[in-house]
């Protein structure tokens, strides 16, 4: 089938015999091929991550360059590594997406605690809104927003970590704001 | 892309790695099974009258079936260390030892008196059999997983499972020379269970250790 040898194969053969220049040329020649595959296969990942994946693939090729059997064609080997590293990239990013929200609590917008409550100084109505939350969240809102307790006190009393407390408050406030809007005529 | 060019420049200055030599890996894998088994048999000895026992046509299967499975699995593991390799239909070769073992089991079940079927199964004989195979498998599984890491297996879980299968079936072949229970209902079941346990554990290990 192969009448002339794949130039990439020639380069990698030389590289594996410790020809550094040939190796650099091999990697430069492989990069656009890899980039093309990554672009075609990673449509669901943001384009700014594509080059990261390309570099992951190059690194994989580099670390495993001794696993190519020079008696076999190069392309299947190359594509197998590229495919494996793209799947690996998905796996890593999939895990990243599912990191617990607590890790991001520092990034949550500072809570304008008063907002859902100020418009309704009517105690009954506030109680009505709080009644629709789960008891724990309701207690967090009561303590922080209505009784002006400090975060440290509340977090100690309810045994919630400060980060978790911010998240709970944030979610409760959002939920109450939504409930409030729904209740308004 | 400047960054990628930088990466290439950096990578191309690194020293070459020695080429993968599957034959050498295969030798070390076989040794990692042989050495613990040889030590075990050197200390505890083979069963009395091994030659005589082998005149019963069922008994050689205790050793031969695991041995075939072991050889097949090492060959498959060595094939799968190349990234482009796929096991695919090759896995069907396991139908041969599996069907042979099944035939032995069913044959013994049919031919034996109900009371004699499970006579050799006791808590002690189970501990001895399962325990020995599990313990003897630890070293070869560890060694083989390390060796496979030198390659570039693109199916880590399957490679891990095959490592476990090689190690456990190799060890079982050796252990069978010590074991005196020749009822297929006993040895097919418990050798099989021990091999399965090691295979599953090794698959889980491979899933984590053989990624790159």
Using a CB–CB cutoff of 8 Å, tell me whether A29 touches chain B: no
Contacts of residue A58 in chain B, CB cutoff 8 Å?
4, 7-8, 11
State the count of interchain CB pairs (< 8 A) between A and B.
77
pLDDT tops 60 at residue A105: no
Give the chain B residue nearest A75 (alpha carbons): B84
State the pLDDT at residue A121: 55
Query: Is there a contact between A62 and B1 if contact means CB atoms under 8 Å apart?
Result: no
What digits encode the pLDDT tens for the residues A140-154? 888 887 787 888 888
Mean pLDDT of A41-54: 84
How many domains in chain A? 2
Q: Which residues of B touch A28 (CB under 8 A)?
A: 5, 8
Q: What is the DSSP string of A45-100?
A: S-GGGHHHHHHHHHHHHHHTGGG--TTS-HHHHHHHHHHHHHHHHHHHHHHHHTS-
Q: Are residues A13 and A79 in the same domain?
A: yes
Query: Domain boundary at A68, A97, A126, which?
Result: A97
Print the domain residue range for A67: 7-97
pLDDT at A118 over 80: no
Q: Where are the domains of chain B?
A: 21-209
pLDDT band at B119 (very low <50, low <70, confident <90, very high): confident
Assign A5 to helix, strand or coil. coil
Chain B residues within an 8 Å CB radius of A84: 83, 152, 154
Tokens standing for B182?
A: 């020749």
What's the rounded Cα separation, in Å, for the pair B128 and B201?
Answer: 20
Contact check, Cβ <8 Å, B152/A88: no
User: Taken in order B205, B30, B104, B131, is the CA torsion positive or negative?
Assistant: negative
Q: Which residue has the higher pLDDT, A99 or B166?
A: B166
Closest CA to B36 of B161, B128, B133: B133
Question: What confidence tier does A100 reach under pLDDT thresholds 50, 70, 90?
Answer: very low
Does A91 share its domain with A110? Answer: no
Tell me, yes or no, whether A51 and A117 share the same domain.
no
Q: How confident is the model at residue A99 (pLDDT cuts 50, 70, 90)?
A: very low
* CATH assignment at residue A145: 1.10.10.10
pLDDT band at A65; cut points 50, 70, 90: very high
Chain A contact present for B20, CB below 8 A: yes
Statement to judge: residues A15 and A83 lie in one domain: yes
ipTM exceeds 0.90: no
For residue B2, what pLDDT band results from cuts at 50, 70 and 90? low
Q: Would you say residue A1 lies in a domain?
A: no
Q: Is residue A156 part of a domain?
A: yes
Assess whether pLDDT exceeds 90 at residue A101: no
**Which one of A97, A125, A142 terminates a domain?**
A97
Domain-embedded: residue A73:
yes
Let me know whether A12 and A88 are in one domain. yes
Query: Which CATH number covers residue A25?
Result: 1.10.1740.10
Interface contact A58-B8, CB threshold 8 A: yes
Residue ending a domain, among A97, A112, A139, is: A97
In a domain, A2, yes or no: no
Q: Among partner residues A65, A72, A84, which is closest to B17 by beta-carbon distance?
A: A65
Lowest-pLDDT choice from B109-113, B157-161, B191-195: B109-113
């Amino acid at each position: 089938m192969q009448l002339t040898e794949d130039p990439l194969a020639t380069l990698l053969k030389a590289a594996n015999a410790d020809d550094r220049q040939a190796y650099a040329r091999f990697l430069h020649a492989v990069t656009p091929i890899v980039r093309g595959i990554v672009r075609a296969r990673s449509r669901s990942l943001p384009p700014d991550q594509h080059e990261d994946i390309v570099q992951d693939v190059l690194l994989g090729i580099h670390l495993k360059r001794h696993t190519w059997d020079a008696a076999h064609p190069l392309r299947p080997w190359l594509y197998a590594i590229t495919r494996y590293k793209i799947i690996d990239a998905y796996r890593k990013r999939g895990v990243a997406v599912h990191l617990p929200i607590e890790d991001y609590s520092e990034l949550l917008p500072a809570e304008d605690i008063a907002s859902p409550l100020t418009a309704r100084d009517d105690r009954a109505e506030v109680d009505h809104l709080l009644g629709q939350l789960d008891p724990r969240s309701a207690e967090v809102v009561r303590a922080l927003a209505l009784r002006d307790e400090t975060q440290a006190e509340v977090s100690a009393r309810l045994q919630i970590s400060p980060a978790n407390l911010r998240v709970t408050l944030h979610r409760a406030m959002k939920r109450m704001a939504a409930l409030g809007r729904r209740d308004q005529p | 892309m400047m960054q990628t060019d930088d990466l290439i420049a950096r990578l191309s200055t690194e020293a070459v790695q020695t080429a993968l030599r599957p034959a050498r890996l295969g030798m070390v894998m076989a040794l990692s099974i042989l050495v613990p088994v040889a030590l075990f048999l050197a200390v505890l000895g083979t069963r009395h009258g091994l030659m005589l026992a082998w005149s019963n046509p069922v008994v050689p299967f205790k050793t031969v079936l695991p041995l075939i499975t072991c050889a097949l699995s090492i060959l498959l593991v060595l094939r799968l260390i190349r990234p482009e390799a796929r096991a695919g239909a090759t896995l069907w070769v396991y139908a041969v030892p599996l069907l042979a073992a099944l035939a032995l089991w069913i044959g013994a079940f049919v031919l034996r008196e109900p009371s004699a079927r499970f006579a050799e199964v006791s808590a002690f004989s189970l501990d001895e059999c399962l325990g020995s195979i599990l313990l003897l498998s630890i070293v070869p599984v560890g060694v083989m997983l390390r060796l496979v890491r030198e390659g570039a297996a693109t199916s880590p879980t399957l490679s891990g499972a095959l490592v476990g299968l090689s190690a456990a079936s190799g060890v079982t072949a050796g252990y069978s020379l010590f074991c005196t229970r020749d009822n297929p209902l006993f040895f097919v079941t418990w050798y099989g269970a021990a091999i399965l346990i090691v295979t599953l554990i090794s698959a889980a290990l491979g899933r984590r250790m053989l990624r790159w």
